[in-house]
Amino acid sequence: QVQLVESGGGVVQPGRSLRLSCAATGFSFSNHGMHWVRQAPGKGLEWVAVAWSGINRQDYADSVKGRFTISRDNSKNTVFLEMNSLGADDTAVYYCARDYAFSLDLWGQGTLVTVSS
């Protein structure tokens, strides 16, 4: 079954860190770029980061650059998002998504991150 399943969300205190995972099944993971996109409560979709396949390149939104790190393990078909120095503005549902011609053609169900003391 072709799918993405996120995990690792939860409640975290401001200033702390959290690591999200996204496991891919049913397709050639190593052939695709992988993204993280988030949606804060009551807000729209916000792109966060992408990890490319085949080249060692990652790109980030300005809002997370220097605090978040995206990585991937092709042997485990998994993409990660390491989030540091979390603030209230990072509270959101985090989705991972597969790249297709610079569109995002497959999405997970999301994992909720709540930053609160």
Partner 1 sequence: EIALTQSPATLSLSPGERATLSCRTSQSVGTSLSWYQHKPGQAPRLLIYDASNRATGIPARFSGSGSGTDFTLTISSLEPEDFVVYYCQHRNNWLWTFGQGTKVEIK
> Out of 24, 78, 83, 108, which residue is the one contacting partner 1 (CB under 8 A)?
108
Cα 1 to Cα 20: distance, rounded to the nearest angstrom: 22
- Cα-based distances in Å from 96 to 9, 25, 102, 117: 12, 13, 14, 26
Binder of partner 1 out of 1, 55, 102, 117 (CB under 8 A):
102
From 19-27, 38-46, 67-75, 76-84, span contacting partner 1 (CB under 8 A): 38-46
Q: Is 110 left (phi over 0), alpha (psi -120 to 50) or beta?
A: left
Instruction: Identify residues 44-73 at the interface with partner 1 (CB under 8 A).
Output: 44-47, 50, 59, 61
Q: Residue 27 phi/psi, 5° resolution?
A: -150, 170
Residues near 105 by beta carbon (within 8 Å), at least 6 away in sequence:
97, 98, 99
Minimum gap (Å) between residue 105 Cβ and partner 1: 5
With CA atoms as reference, report the closest residue to 15 among 87, 94, 70. Answer: 87
Indicate the residue among 66 and 75 with the shorter CB distance to partner 1.
66
> In this chain, which stretch among 12-20, 66-74, 83-91, 97-105 interacts with partner 1, using CB under 8 A?
97-105
The encoded tokens of residue 31 equal: 């052939």
Stretch that binds partner 1, among 8-16, 74-82, 84-92, 106-114 (CB under 8 A): 106-114
Site residues, partner 1 (CB under 8 A) = 35, 37, 44-47, 50, 59, 61, 95, 97, 100-110
